[in-house]
Amino acid sequence: MPEQTKIQLDESEMPTRWYNLIPDLPEPPPPVLHPGTHEPVGPDDLAPLFPMDLILQEVSGERFIDIPETVQEIYRLWRPSPLYRARRLEKALDTPARIYYKYEGGSPAGSHKPNTAVAQAYYNAQAGVTKLTTETGAGQWGSALAFACAQFGLECEVWQVRASYDQKPYRRMMMETFGATIHPSPSEVTEAGRTILAEDPDSPGSLGIAISEAVEMAAGDEQTKYALGSVLNHVLLHQTVIGEEALLQMERAGETPDLLVGCTGGGSNFGGLCFPFIREKMAGKMAPEIRAVEPAACPTLTKGVYAYDFGDAIGMTPLMKMHTLGHDFVPDPIHAGGLRYHGMAPLISHVYELGLLEAEAVGQTACFEAGLQFARTEGIVPAPEPTHALAVAIEEAQACAESGEEKVILTALCGHGHFDLAAYDRYLSGEMENYAYPEAKVAEALSRIPAVG
């Protein structure tokens, strides 16, 4: 009997409920505060931007929330996603460790992002919304939302950071192929954009500016809402399909993980994989170490403070208690664009404070070294983001080669790197930067976070 490489679930085994970690935690996360009054925000405060079903998920106390049939139907285009045993990588490392990876790159956008994009588009369509706006950097999230909107006949309007719009046209083309309209940000379409352009007609843009533009458009039209691809509770909730499937697949493989390792930017991929395992751990059914890996250039959990801060760079959003490097901190231009966020999902931050997970920061070149080894052995070129988790998984497996320990490692391979090959090219040519922790810049940004309570 040959050794199995993939653990595939049948479509009938796909989760039918999302898992909400909050009610299982020993204490609830701190409330989100209004930026003006510093009082907790209520559902009505969020209603101009999000449909009520998503707002209620954001604050839900239910442990499980049913996934609508229509969302399940679309999930089945790529779910259940495969769990791989990395046999060829293990062999190359000559390690007794057993490495598993849960691969989300087979989705329409090539990452985990459609898991929430489809859900968000569904609830908006149900609420009679006709258009969604959003921001995107390199374009991972924008292409997920573009695909999702196409499924429900919603218009999709995306503000893409100008520098990425100009330098990486493939993601823009993918968004347009799925039917979305893309504006380079700053744009002439919004007041926010025009203001920036008046000051600097050549502005390369930033995620903060793009958020402002997308939010402005949504707030100004009854039929238009805004969608966010990470950070918020309901986004992490939708991503728990990853972890629920992985739990079942590990069981099917006859394995109990000793270590879960995932990359963290906003936190949705990491939370999606880990939350169901944290539930099992709290219930005493397993005892895996749970480790978040972040870039040395943007080390929110390992170097940030746990404080109330804005979600955007400009300071328009409600205040969230989270690990932050300061809302206007601009990280060095690492290739893992999805990890260049100044904060961390409030729920991940809270779980970290509760001592339910660990964190570690890794430099860029070590990540690409791991990505290259993974590509050559396993045949999948990973996106720069999950190479952070791979670097740690490989390091751990190497330690097992020394110690003889048969550690079971489970990692989240949240997307492919087909649109990131220029970064691999740079690494191969020996020109890649290995940005260190920008201590002074962080200290400066932290001096500007708002004083709350």
* Interacting residues toward its own copies by CB under 8 A: 1-6, 8, 10-12, 69, 72-74, 76-78, 84, 87-88, 106-108, 110, 114, 147, 150-151, 169-170, 173-174, 176-179, 372, 375-381, 418-419, 421-422, 424-425, 428
DSSP 8-state symbol, 98:
E
What's the closest the beta carbon of residue 381 comes to its own copies, in angstroms? 6
For residues 18 and 101, which CB has a smaller minimum distance to its own copies in the complex? 101
Q: Are 218 and 225 in contact (CB under 8 A)?
A: yes
What's the closest the beta carbon of residue 223 comes to its own copies, in angstroms? 21
For residues 192 and 432, which CB has a smaller minimum distance to its own copies in the complex? 432
What's the closest the beta carbon of residue 160 comes to its own copies, in angstroms? 14
What's the closest the beta carbon of residue 130 comes to its own copies, in angstroms? 17
Q: Are 261 and 392 in contact (CB under 8 A)?
A: yes
For residues 12 and 37, which CB has a smaller minimum distance to its own copies in the complex? 12
What's the closest the beta carbon of residue 80 comes to its own copies, in angstroms? 9
For residues 60 and 181, which CB has a smaller minimum distance to its own copies in the complex? 181
d(CA 30, CA 350): 8
For residues 114 and 386, which CB has a smaller minimum distance to its own copies in the complex? 114
Instruction: Return the SS3 of 96.
Output: coil
Lateral strand order in the sheet of 131-136: 181-185, 155-161, 131-136, 224-226
Q: Give the type of residue at 283.
A: A
Q: What are phi and psi of 407, to 5 degrees?
A: -70, 140
d(CA 33, CA 22): 18
What is each CA distance from 127 to 26, 118, 123, 130, 152, in whole angstroms?
A: 34, 14, 6, 9, 12
**Which is nearest to 228 in space by CA: 166, 300, 317, 301?**
317
What's the closest the beta carbon of residue 8 comes to its own copies, in angstroms? 5
For residues 86 and 393, which CB has a smaller minimum distance to its own copies in the complex? 86
What's the closest the beta carbon of residue 108 comes to its own copies, in angstroms? 3
For residues 86 and 228, which CB has a smaller minimum distance to its own copies in the complex? 86
For residues 38 and 76, which CB has a smaller minimum distance to its own copies in the complex? 76
For residues 150 and 401, which CB has a smaller minimum distance to its own copies in the complex? 150
What's the closest the beta carbon of residue 284 comes to its own copies, in angstroms? 33
For residues 17 and 88, which CB has a smaller minimum distance to its own copies in the complex? 88
Question: Counting beta carbons within 10 angstroms of the beta carbon of residue 202, is it exposed (0 to 12), middle (13 to 18) or buried (19 or more)?
Answer: exposed
Instruction: Return the number of other C-beta atoms located less than 10 Å from residue 157's C-beta.
Output: 23
Instruction: Return the number of other C-beta atoms located less than 10 Å from residue 2's C-beta.
Output: 4
**Which is nearest to 223 in space by CA: 133, 118, 317?**
133
What's the closest the beta carbon of residue 104 comes to its own copies, in angstroms? 13
Instruction: Return the number of other C-beta atoms located less than 10 Å from residue 25's C-beta.
Output: 16
What's the closest the beta carbon of residue 427 comes to its own copies, in angstroms? 9
Any alpha helices (H) in 178-299, and if so which ranges?
191-199, 207-219, 233-252, 268-282
What is each CA distance from 1 to 4, 8, 10, 295, in whole angstroms?
A: 9, 17, 21, 41
